[in-house]
Amino acid sequence: MRLKWAEISKNSLKHNVKAIREMLPSAEIVAVVKDNAYGHDLAATLPALLEAGVTKYAVVYQRDALMVSELGAPWVLVLDDFPDAQLAEEYARRGIRFCITDYDWIERGVLELPIQFHLFIDTGMHREGVPWYATDAIKKISADLGSRLEGICTHMAHIAKDSELYRLQLQRFEEALCLVPDSLMVHVSSSGALHVGVPSYATHVRPGIALYGYTHPEVKPVLSLKATVVHARDVDEGDGVSYGWRWIAQHRTRVVTVPVGYADGYNRLLTNKARAGVNDFTLEQIGTVTMDFTMFKAPSEVRVGDVMTLLGEWGTGRFWADDWAEAIGTIPYEVLTGLSPRIPRIAV
């Protein structure tokens, strides 16, 4: 009997690819699968993305690029990791290319490597990239790389039509764009582009969280978290549950336990705030979330061996990553990437 697992919906993932293409028809998708596909597991997600016709992928680190390549991706962009010179020929053979994210990489000999590059321009995020105002550096990188400069990109600190910051970053990027050949791949937008579109000069878009079902109503969540009920008991009125008795029964109450806790990424801040589902029943989480177990108030119909949905939907209920994030004051990105690798991901 499986005790806990995450289900990765291939249909939802393919739906999201289709929705993104329909909303942004002028820009080809570069699927962002960094951090183990936002916690969804590369091995569980890549086959569905490839089946959906996605051929381009982006990760942060070169070790992940090698894994994505092994899973069948023909084109992978490393967003911010200095390339290992000893593997340069292997990278070229596998279709792995790198963003240049710092001017000092020039002094470190990166331009001599026989691989393709994208020039990452810092337009205001101030996290990585060659500054937009470093015109001499931008011209030198473009000239020295020649045909090995495949693309130019940036990353937005905020994407909204009425955002002065967004307009400022676009203006800065366009200044840099004038310094490089106009035949390059151009990508400036992430999932936020679903709300504002992409600039007319953008050839590609880098969706991340939208691929996995968040930030836009047209996409569907991909990951559901499930667990098997392992204990059930009745708690008398006046007795509490879990450490510190932070929940006390107001009447005789049935309490069930699932083997998922904060060591699995089920955040302790969810204490007395979360909900879950068994069949058509919605269950209230009660008592302090512990390292390996969490308790819920349940109707008498819920039994040991029943499957509980801790992240997902059931009957008329739901508790997705955005609900979870709202309950504890964070973002869906952190919820999804925080789920422990000890929870197996299963493509369904």
Neighbours of 9 (CB within 10 A): 21
Report the chain's mean pLDDT, rounded to a whole number: 97
Is residue 21 located within the same domain as residue 109?
yes
**Sole residue written with tokens 């937009």:** 132
Whether residue 34 lies in the annotated active site: yes
Catalytic residue among 10, 14, 34, 226: 34
Is residue 45 within 8 Å of residue 13, measured between CB atoms?
yes
Q: In this structure, are 104 and 165 located in the same domain?
A: yes
| Inter-residue contact 165 to 157 (CB < 8 Å) | yes
The verdict on 232 and 167 lying in the same domain is no
The reply to whether 180 and 243 lie within a common domain is no
Q: What is the mean pLDDT of residues 191-208?
A: 95
Compute the distance between CA of residue 55 and CA of residue 256 in angstroms, rounded to an integer. 45
pLDDT value of position 161: 80
Query: Are residues 207 and 228 both part of a single domain?
Result: no
Residues 186 and 318 in one domain: no
Distance from chain centroid for Cα 80? 16
Instruction: Give the model's pLDDT for residue 106.
Output: 86
DSSP structure class, residue 74: S
Indicate whether 72 belongs to any domain: yes
Summarised one tens digit per residue, pLDDT across range 275-328 is 999 999 999 999 999 999 999 999 999 999 999 999 999 999 999 999 999 999
Domain at 283, CATH number: 2.40.37.10
Question: Domain ends where: 212, 234, 265?
Answer: 212
3-state secondary structure of 111: helix
Q: What are phi and psi of 148, to 5 degrees?
A: -80, -10
Is 259 part of any domain?
yes
H helical segments located in the chain: 10-23, 34-38, 42-51, 62-70, 88-94, 135-145, 164-177, 193-196, 321-328, 332-337
177 pLDDT exceeds 90?
yes
Domain-terminating residue out of 190, 212, 234:
212
227 shares its domain with 283: yes
Do 312 and 263 share a structural domain? yes
The whole-number pLDDT of residue 71 equals 98
Strand 294-298 vs strand 281-286: parallel, antiparallel, or unpaired? antiparallel
Position 103 scores a pLDDT of 87
Total residue count of the chain as it appears in this document: 348
Averaged pLDDT, 185-208: 95
pLDDT at residue number 254:
98
Helices first, then strands: H and E counts in the chain: 10, 21
At residue 107, the pLDDT reads 87
Distances in whole angstroms, Cα of residue 159 to Cα of each of 38, 79, 168, 285, 329: 20, 19, 11, 36, 21
- In this structure, the answer to whether residues 51 and 102 fall within a common structural domain is yes
Q: Mapping DSSP to helix (H, G, I), strand (E, B) and coil, where does residue 59 land?
A: strand
pLDDT digits (tens, 9 = 90+) for 92-150: 999 999 999 998 888 899 989 999 999 999 999 999 999 999 999 999 999 999 999 99
Indicate whether 1 belongs to any domain.
no
Is the CB of residue 30 less than 8 Å from the CB of residue 204? Answer: yes
**Residues spanned by the domain of 271:** 223-347
pLDDT of amino acid 1? 76
Q: How far apart are CA 109 and CA 173, in angstroms?
A: 25
Total number of domains constituting the chain: 2
